[in-house]
Structure 1
Amino acid sequence: MKMEQDGRLKRLKLPGIYYSMQAILVLEGLDPKEWVKSPFEWRRLKNELEATKKELATCRETLNQFSAILAKYNYEAVQK
């Protein structure tokens, strides 16, 4: 309410209390253009996220295998 009284935020003329997302983003110091994505961009980001998740899973698997080999090597070195 104080932001409305200060004139920094303007209420939309709808039932209830609503503000434009652009006004909120500007108030928060964010660029509203960065928050507008086309369906194509969302699909591209989703595909990129899925590819990154697969790559992460592969990296984790490789790291686990490497860790097991290293543990076995250390065990055999201690036994000698």
Structure 2
Amino acid sequence: MKVLDGSSRPATLTALTLLAGAGHLPGAAVEAVLGKILHPITGGGEPVGAIRLGAAFDDAEQGSGDGRPGLRGCRPAADDAGQEA
């Protein structure tokens, strides 16, 4: 995963959200874990932000149509011959 600021902080949020969206993890369990591991971003000892999903993640209504979140603009991976898988 490439993160614009070079940090790996959002990797767990992204991975768990995608796994839950694909039905491999229960959403409630993912929310419980994320609630324990995601902490506010602070500046001068005060909360100034948080790690959250970006605009590429749809909400459930705009996702896959089955209540799972989706991704806008994502395409299937191409195989070695350049053909979509």
TM-score range with shorter-chain normalisation?
A: under 0.3
**Bigger RCO (CA 8 Å, 6+ sep):** 2
TM-score (norm 1): 0.23
Which structure's residues are more often strand, by fraction? 2
Larger Rg: 1
TM-score (norm 2): 0.23
